[in-house]
């Protein structure tokens, strides 16, 4: 990161961490013109010319190794000193568990030359019941498993039949009997057919803040990995975090999401390439506030950008979203007050931009969202397809200056379909070309 980018990053961190405090300040307070490092002050600090850095490499660097353990050691060391940079030198690093990130740490690589890759996964059944207070499991076959492996335990809840998913690490063993890093807190009874799989995100963050990840390649090894959805994993997975910045990353071939963040606020994803993932290219997850998704290339994912539940005040701008198997962009349950502009969405398998229907609550629809100057081209396979589909009771939507285009034959393809129960859908200055029908308005006039 150059000096300007580094200064911007530090400024953004300081501003975001005290947004509510600043709003309450009196305008009469004098500005801070010569900041000093003061204990506990996260707002004003000098722009230091250098910060602590640890290099990780396979045959050179401060720490040496070829798997996740050496990167984890570097993260933990830098975090203990209050933050700094972990520079991962070129090479292919094989992961058997996630690297668990820490606040105040910046991780950088060398782009395509620094590859973090999942080792093939293994799935085996449990052969003994484990209660919710236990901290151990017994497996049918432990071949291929090692201490330190990240695992995913899945079972049916014996009381209500629902699915349970737990992520743990193997830390001790006697034969096929393993101790876990944490207690189960769920009943893994044989009646629920519990299994243990070596599944994990490559980078994982929970309850952390002020983290930057740049110039790294993440290989999910999709052909050799069981599926793990974005509520629990991805090449990168975050939950309950603040101010995470991700730039110039490649996340590909994961049997799940490329990048997923749940209940994370002020996340920035810029200039990344997420491709050939089984599920979602980018997953701004439930409750996430103010995401910035900018200038990314998203190709051949199940869905390019999936606004999950309650994602608000976000901006998706300048993204190129190609060949999504289902939807280029999907927005739904209580995702309100977001803006999508200057994106190019091309060759989506079903719909270019979908406003999902969610009738399970009083008003769970994606209201007050704004589409502006997007290009939506060749939506849908076969003879039908929809560029923009507004479903349910979605309301207060602005669709301005978009180009909706079909380069194949028009067939039954639709530019904008407005559902019968939608309200206040404002169409302005949009351009249509080559479609069977420009606008299909199903509302009763």
Q: What is the mean pLDDT of residues 253-267?
A: 98
Residues 6+ apart with CB under 8 A from 139: 124, 125, 126, 127, 145, 176, 177, 178, 196
CB 363 within 8 A of CB 339: no
Residue 408: the pLDDT is: 93
- Report DSSP letters for 289-330, one per residue: BS-EEES-EEES-SEEEE--SS-BS-EEES-EEE--SSEEEE
Give the model confidence (pLDDT) of 338-386 as tens digits.
Answer: 999 999 999 999 999 999 999 888 999 999 999 999 999 999 998 899 9
CA distance 232 to 223: 19
Burial of 82 (0-12, 13-18, 19+ CB in 10 A): exposed
Tokens 């999910």, residue? 220
Residue reference for tokens 């009874």: 189
> Is 110 a member of any domain?
yes
Closest CA to 129 of 172, 151, 149, 158: 158
In the three-class reduction of DSSP (H, G, I as helix; E, B as strand; rest coil), residue 19 is classed as helix
Where residue 376 sits, what CATH number does that domain have?
2.160.20.10
**Distance linking the first and last C-alpha atoms of the chain:** 56
Between CA 104 and CA 108 the distance in angstroms is 13
- DSSP-assigned letters across all residues of 132-145: TT--EEEBS--TT-
Report yes or no on 283 lying in a domain.
yes
Question: Rounded to 5 degrees, what are φ and ψ at 285?
Answer: -90, 180
Q: Is 240 helix (H, G, I), strand (E, B) or coil?
A: coil
Q: What is the pLDDT of residues 384-431, one digit of tens each?
A: 999 999 999 999 999 999 999 999 998 999 999 999 999 999 999 999
Is the residue at 352 inside a domain?
A: yes
Residues 297 and 181 in one domain: no
Domain identity same for 154 and 218: no
User: In the Cβ-directed half-sphere of 353, how many Cα atoms lie within 13 Å?
Assistant: 27
Last residue of a domain, one of 181, 197, 213: 197
Residues 173 and 273 in one domain: no
Give yes or no: residues 157 and 217 share one domain. no
Residues 403 and 337 in one domain: yes
Say if residue 133 is in the same domain as residue 267.
Answer: no
Residue in the block written with tokens 């793990």: 228
With respect to residue 231, please indicate whether it lies within any of the assigned structural domains.
yes
d(CA 29, CA 380): 57
Cα Rg, the chain, nearest whole Å? 24
Is the domain of 293 the same as that of 210?
yes
Adjacency order of strands within the sheet including 375-377: 91-95, 114-118, 217-219, 250-252, 273-275, 297-299, 320-322, 344-346, 375-377, 403-405, 431-433
- The Cα–Cα gap between 417 and 387 comes to 8
13 domain-assigned: no
Burial of 170 (0-12, 13-18, 19+ CB in 10 A): buried
Q: According to the model, what pLDDT value does residue 12 have?
A: 47
Residue 7 in any domain: the answer is no
Asked whether the beta carbons of 351 and 329 are under 8 A apart, the reply is no
Residues 166, 302, single domain; the answer is no
pLDDT value of residue 48: 82
Say if CB 175 and CB 142 are below 8 A apart.
Answer: yes
Closest by CA position to 344, among listed 323, 327, 320, 322: 320
- Residues forming beta bridges with residue 376, ordered by sequence position: 345, 404
**Closest Cα partner for 362 from 402, 334, 339, 400?**
334
Residue 2 maps to a domain: no
> Are residues 253 and 140 both part of a single domain?
no
Return the minimum-mean-pLDDT range out of 10-24, 209-223, 260-274, 296-310.
10-24
d(CA 141, CA 177): 10
pLDDT reading at 27 higher than 70? no
- Per-residue pLDDT reduced to its tens digit, 200-254: 999 999 999 999 999 999 999 999 999 999 999 999 999 999 999 999 999 999 9
255 closest CA partner among 205, 319, 302 = 302
- What is the CB neighbour count within 10 angstroms for residue 331? 26
Total number of residues shown for the chain: 445
Same domain, 187 and 225: no
Q: Does residue 247 share a domain with residue 278?
A: yes
Question: What DSSP line would sit under 373-402, residue for residue?
Answer: S-EEES-SSTT--EEEEE-TT-EEEEEES-
pLDDT score recorded for residue 41: 85
Looking at residue 445, what is its pLDDT? Answer: 66
The pLDDT of residue 383 is 85
CB 137 within 8 A of CB 149: no
Counted domains in the chain: 2
pLDDT digits (tens, 9 = 90+) for 76-103: 999 999 999 999 999 999 999 999 999 9
Contact predicate 43/18, CB 8 Å: yes
Q: Does residue 254 lie in a domain region?
A: yes
Number of helices followed by number of strands (H, E) in the chain: 3, 41
What range defines the domain where residue 138 resides?
A: 123-197
Q: How many Å apart are CA 257 and CA 282, to the nearest integer?
A: 7
Percent residues over pLDDT 90 in the chain: 86
pTM given for the model:
0.91
Do both 213 and 177 map to the same domain? Answer: no
Is the confidence at residue 6, as pLDDT, over 60? no
DSSP 251: E
Which residue, of 197, 222, 239, is where some domain finishes?
197
Last residue of a domain, one of 171, 197, 223: 197
pLDDT tens for 170-201 read 999 999 999 999 999 999 999 999 999 999 99
Q: Which of 139, 167, 134 is nearest to 153 (CA)?
A: 167
Question: Does residue 46 have a pLDDT over 50?
Answer: yes
């Amino acid at each position: 990161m150059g000096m300007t980018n580094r200064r911007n990053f530090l400024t953004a961190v300081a501003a975001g961490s005290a947004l509510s405090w600043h709003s309450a300040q009196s305008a009469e307070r004098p500005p801070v013109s010569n900041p000093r490092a003061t204990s506990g002050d996260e707002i004003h600090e000098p722009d230091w010319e250098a910060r602590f850095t640890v290099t990780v490499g396979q045959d050179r660097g401060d720490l040496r190794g070829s798997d996740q353990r050496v990167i984890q050691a570097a993260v933990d060391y830098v975090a203990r000193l209050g933050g700094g940079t972990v520079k991962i030198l070129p090479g292919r690093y094989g992961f058997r568990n996630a690297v668990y990130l820490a606040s105040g740490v910046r991780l950088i690589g060398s782009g395509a030359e620094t590859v973090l890759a999942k080792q093939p996964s293994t799935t085996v059944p449990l052969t003994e019941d484990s209660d919710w207070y236990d901290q151990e499991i017994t497996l049918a076959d432990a071949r291929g498993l090692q201490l330190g492996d990240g695992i995913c335990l899945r079972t049916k809840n014996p009381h209500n039949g629902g699915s349970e998913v737990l992520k743990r690490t193997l830390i001790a063993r006697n034969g096929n009997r393993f101790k876990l890093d944490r207690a189960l807190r769920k009943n893994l009874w044989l009646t629920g057919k519990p299994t243990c799989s070596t599944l994990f995100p490559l980078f994982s963050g929970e309850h952390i803040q002020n983290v930057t990840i740049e110039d790294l390649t993440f290989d999910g090894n999709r052909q050799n990995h069981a599926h793990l959805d974005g509520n629990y994993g991805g090449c990168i997975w975050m939950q309950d975090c603040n101010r995470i910045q991700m730039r110039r990353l490649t996340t590909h071939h994961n049997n799940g999401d490329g990048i997923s963040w749940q209940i994370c606020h002020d996340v920035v994803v810029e200039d990344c390439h997420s491709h050939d993932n089984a599920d979602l290219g980018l997953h701004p997850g439930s409750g996430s506030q103010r995401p910035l998704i900018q200038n990314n290339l998203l190709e051949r994912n199940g869905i390019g950008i999936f606004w999950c539940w309650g994602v608000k005040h976000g901006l998706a701008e300048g993204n190129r979203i190609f060949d999504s198997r289902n939807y280029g962009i999907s927005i739904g349950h209580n995702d309100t007050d977001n803006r999508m502009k200057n994106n190019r969405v091309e060759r989506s398998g079903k719909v270019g931009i979908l406003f999902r229907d969610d009738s399970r609550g009083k008003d769970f629809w994606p209201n007050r969202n704004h589409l502006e100057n997007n290009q939506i081209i060749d939506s849908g396979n076969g003879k039908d397809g929809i560029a923009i589909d507004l479903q349910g009771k979605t309301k207060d939507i602005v669709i301005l200056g978009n180009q909706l285009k079909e380069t194949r034959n028009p067939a039954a393809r639709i530019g904008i379909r407005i559902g019968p129960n939608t309200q206040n859908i404002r169409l302005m200055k949009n351009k249509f070309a080559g479609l069977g029908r420009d606008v299909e308005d199903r509302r009763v006039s």
